[in-house]
Amino acid sequence: MKSILGKLFLTLSLLSAATHLSGADWPTWRGPNYDGSTTSDKPLPVKFDQEKGVKWSTTLPGMGASTPIIIGDRIFLSSVQVTDKKAGKGRLLALCLNRANGKVAWKHDAGSGYRPGEGDGNDFQLDSRTTYASPSAVSDGERVIFFYGNGDLVSYDLEGEEQWRRNLQKDYGDFTFQWTFSATPTLYDGKLYLAVLQRDEVTHGRGKPNNPSFLLCMNPANGKTVWKHIRPSDANKESLESFGTVIPYEGAGRKELIIAGGDVLTGHDPATGKEIWRWGTWNPGHREQWWRLVPSPVVGGGVVLASAPKKAPVFAAKLGLKGTHSGKDGLVWETSKHPQITSDVPTPLFYNGKFYVLSDLRQAMSRVDPKTGKVEWSTRMPGKYKWRASPTAADGKIYSMNHNGEVVVMDPSSGEILHVAKMGQTYDDNTRSSVAISDGQLFIRANSKIFCIQ
């Protein structure tokens, strides 16, 4: 009961700064609680497919891994419309759909045409695994802000009128990543935050030597920088890179922003960016040079999780820390004795007082107690495709989707698979979006279509 009341208090606190949001909205890719869950109690569907339970479906103008966000009667998502695949040409789109029927309410070409790297002619991606339309939009109920992997950051009002735009690579230098940068920004307490945790050396001709990682705070009303905080790390090469989202936390009498990457977890003052605490590392001696971090941190049950990459364990650090900690100092538990509790790409879910860790490499979903790290059940995920979309939950159901667009509905109490719905096409292998939940409906983005299920 205490964990449920505490979670409800956190939800109300996080929403209080954004009075234009309702409890049924899904304003960011991890939902209103920043943990993959929502407290909306309307019944959600179990049995559905591409025809059964579908209120509407809409063919999208292009690919993208961004999770749809839902604000009232509107749905927002980004996409890439390829105009010349051979030449790497495409349009970066900002889309708004009508929630009632799935029709396009407005669509804008949001791209500036900025090309990172001298002579790089690719307008929509830098590698074969993702596109510039991988970050999800974010909204405070008054505006919607889109971020793209080429550095374009664009704000619209809900009617589609552009408010401001800037390009972060143009302002702060080209991103330095092995793969295409795809972190989703965070709107919290009247400010816009983005962590750029990158390599400190030239990579594939991009960036510059001694390129620092930083946390950026901006005014969402005009896009101007409020502060920029350099975030140092002793990690090496690709292990400096993170694709995670900044997660806000309120507790221990303070507000903070939690970041995972560069082999450490850190908590920062939202007003200044100053580091409050640091814990690490999952990479002792920083000997692993190729441990880029994809999952975002997730808070719940008095701890914050960091999912180390490539079959490494999940680590739970104490909340409310101050100063620098390492090893067992500040660590509550880790999962090295349970090799199935690992996640290379999906961000874990926290729901009804438990963590749910989806392992894309072990192809299993597991429920973990936040206080002890005890594994309460593990379920083998079906099919042959990777399960990399982060799980979401509400109404006593967990929803997960794999690269082929297969959606699993799972019972969180037992781990029983209640239903498997094939929402993608036969040969789809690039579906990365999480299932968004709002007011008794599911919003499922497959490779070429988005479905509203109720």
pLDDT tens, residue by residue, 200-258: 999 888 888 889 999 999 999 999 999 999 999 999 999 999 999 999 999 989 999 99
Nearest to 368 by CA among 436, 450, 287, 313: 313
Nearest to 419 by CA among 47, 158, 140: 47
pLDDT-derived band at 121, boundaries 50, 70, 90: low
Instruction: Provide mean pLDDT across the span 391-408.
Output: 97
The pLDDT value recorded for residue 5 is 43
Residue 9 has pLDDT above 80, yes or no: no
What confidence tens digit (pLDDT) does each residue in 77-101 have? 999 998 888 877 889 999 999 999 9
The pLDDT value recorded for residue 116 is 75
Instruction: Provide mean pLDDT across the span 110-127.
Output: 73
Mean pLDDT, the chain, integer: 93
300 half-sphere exposure, CB direction, 13 A CA radius: 27
Q: What percent of the chain has pLDDT over 90?
A: 83
CB-count burial class (<10 Å; 0-12, 13-18, 19+) for 407: buried
- CATH architecture for residues 2-64+161-453: 7 Propeller (2.130)
Query: Where on the phi/psi map is residue 353: left (φ > 0), alpha (ψ -120 to 50), or beta?
Result: left
The pLDDT value recorded for residue 117 is 65
Note whether 357 and 365 are within 8 A (CB).
yes
Note whether 393 and 36 are within 8 A (CB).
yes
Note whether 110 and 63 are within 8 A (CB).
no
Residue 2 has pLDDT above 90, yes or no: no
CB-count burial class (<10 Å; 0-12, 13-18, 19+) for 5: exposed
Rg (C-alpha) for the chain, rounded Å, is: 20
Cα(334)–Cα(168) distance, integer angstroms = 36
Nearest to 176 by CA among 162, 197, 155: 197
Note whether 160 and 134 are within 8 A (CB).
no
The pLDDT value recorded for residue 14 is 45
Cα(256)–Cα(41) distance, integer angstroms = 28
In this structure, which amino acid lies at residue 342? T
Residue 194 has pLDDT above 50, yes or no: yes
Instruction: Provide mean pLDDT across the span 426-446.
Output: 94
What confidence tens digit (pLDDT) does each residue in 12-45 have? 444 444 458 888 999 999 999 999 999 877 999 9
Of 19-23, 36-40, 58-62, 122-126, which has the strongest mean pLDDT? 58-62
pLDDT-derived band at 131, boundaries 50, 70, 90: confident
Cα(334)–Cα(343) distance, integer angstroms = 13
The predicted model scores a pTM of 0.94
Q: What number of other Cβ atoms are within 10 A of residue 430's Cβ?
A: 16
Token pair of 77 as six digits: 């998502």
Domain definitions of the chain by residue range: 2-64+161-453, 66-160
Q: Is the bond leading into 281 cis (omega within 30 degrees of zero)?
A: yes
What confidence tens digit (pLDDT) does each residue in 132-186 have? 999 999 999 999 999 999 999 999 999 999 999 999 999 999 999 998 999 999 9
Instruction: Provide mean pLDDT across the span 118-126.
Output: 63
Residue 277 has pLDDT above 90, yes or no: yes
Note whether 281 and 349 are within 8 A (CB).
no
The pLDDT value recorded for residue 84 is 85
Q: What is the DSSP letter of 285?
A: G
Instruction: Provide mean pLDDT across the span 332-352.
Output: 97
Range with the lowest mean pLDDT among 115-124, 146-155, 285-294?
115-124
Note whether 146 and 67 are within 8 A (CB).
no
What confidence tens digit (pLDDT) does each residue in 412-425 have? 999 999 999 999 99
Residue 434 has pLDDT above 60, yes or no: yes
pLDDT-derived band at 430, boundaries 50, 70, 90: confident
Q: What is the DSSP letter of 391?
A: P
